[in-house]
Amino acid sequence: MSTSTLSSSTALQDRFGRAIRYLRLSVTDRCDLRCNYCLPKGFDDYEEPKNWLNFDEMTRLVGIFAKAGVSRVRLTGGEPLLRRNLPELAARLAALPGVEDLSLSTNATQLGKHAVALKAAGVKRINVSLDSLDKGCINTITGRDSFDAIMAGIMAGKAAGFAPIKLNMVAMRGVNEHEIQRMVAFCLENGFILRLIEAMPMGDTGRNAQYMDLNPIREQLVSQFDLIPEVAELGGGPARYWQTQDGSGRVGFITPISQHFCATCNRVRLSVDGTLYMCLGQEEKFEFAPLLRGGATDEEILAALQHAIELKPEKHEFKEQPGKIIRFMSQTGG
């Protein structure tokens, strides 16, 4: 049954009155880097490709999400650009009625090869993981000689016309905290938006990251760069933004530990095998692959989606139970 036969419905709403409008869609759990807060060295417990959702299944399911009021879709991984023919999927998703904003999270190592095709396919914005501007530090964090490829990818994205480009920096005590001011200056100079992120205790690697409370950092940056609170919402995600006095530059802060944003959480995550995770810091999930491959109608899948959203918990418990989540970020979908 075509998704077009579904009647339009109001936005998905969980038990706590939060409208779910944002889907993070993982197209692979594989990555070409081994960031030391994300994947351990030697990790190879990846999902079997036979269990991956194919492009038809992803398009059908995202179409049902869109009919239910989800308007923002972000392609994630792992590293999404490792999924073959990703621009083809992007074009199909961008054309779906109701999808107003299609974006991509990437480590940028492959972006130089795909930036133009992704922009033409309908991807509007990109977020790039960049934890340092020091080549040695980046190569240590990522476990690869990756710095040059990442920087080339970022500049290829800029040349292709992606705007805004957000650079995500996980702030880690004793690792890259001394580079935060330099990173802000680099982003302001190049027209990028920096987003500083507190490390989350996802799996052993996340728990071993050198967590930093970003609130004191924000106070320092506000003073140093004369920043003021940003009123406009940028991208529908969890960051709280501050801007320069003339509005030309912005810095975002994502603080899941020190100042969580659960009360306004509007997103869910779909892993590459069709498992929908309702929260990064909880175990509630729902598997859609059996429905997609078992002959379920779109109406039945929509009903299952509405049930799944009701499982969404009120909040994570990263502070209360930091050892609770044993899966890695790449397994959930970034």
Task: Calculate ∠ Cα 333-23-31, nearest 5°.
Answer: 20
Task: Check whether 279 is labelled as a binding-site residue.
Answer: yes
Decide the pairing of beta strands 285-287 and 250-254: unpaired
Query: Are 305 and 271 within 8 A, CB to CB?
Result: no
Examine residue 78 and say whether the peptide bond preceding it is cis (omega within 30 degrees of 0): yes
Q: Is residue 166 a known part of a binding site? A: yes
- The H or E element containing residue 195 is strand 193-198
- Is 38 assigned to a binding site? yes
Q: Tell how far CA 270 is from the center of its chain.
A: 11
| φ, ψ (nearest 5 deg) of residue 175 | -115, -60
Q: Does the annotation place 267 within a ligand binding site?
A: yes
- 269 has binding-site annotation: yes
CA distance 249 to 212: 24
Tell me how far apart the alpha carbons of residues 218 and 254 are, in angstroms, rounded to a whole number.
11
74 is in an annotated binding site: yes
The answer to whether 35 is annotated as binding is yes
- H or E segment to which residue 24 belongs: strand 22-26
Q: Is 24 labelled a binding residue?
A: yes
Residues forming a β-bridge with 270: 25, 276
Assess contact for 104 and 80: CB atoms under 8 A: yes
First to last CA, the chain: 31
Q: What is the DSSP letter of 274?
A: S
- Binding site for S-adenosyl-L-methionine, by residue number, is 37, 78, 129, 200
- Binding site for [4Fe-4S] cluster, by residue number, is 31, 35, 38, 262, 265, 279
- Binding site for GTP, by residue number, is 24, 74, 105, 166, 267-269
- Binding site, by residue number, is 24, 31, 35, 37-38, 74, 78, 105, 129, 166, 200, 262, 265, 267-269, 279
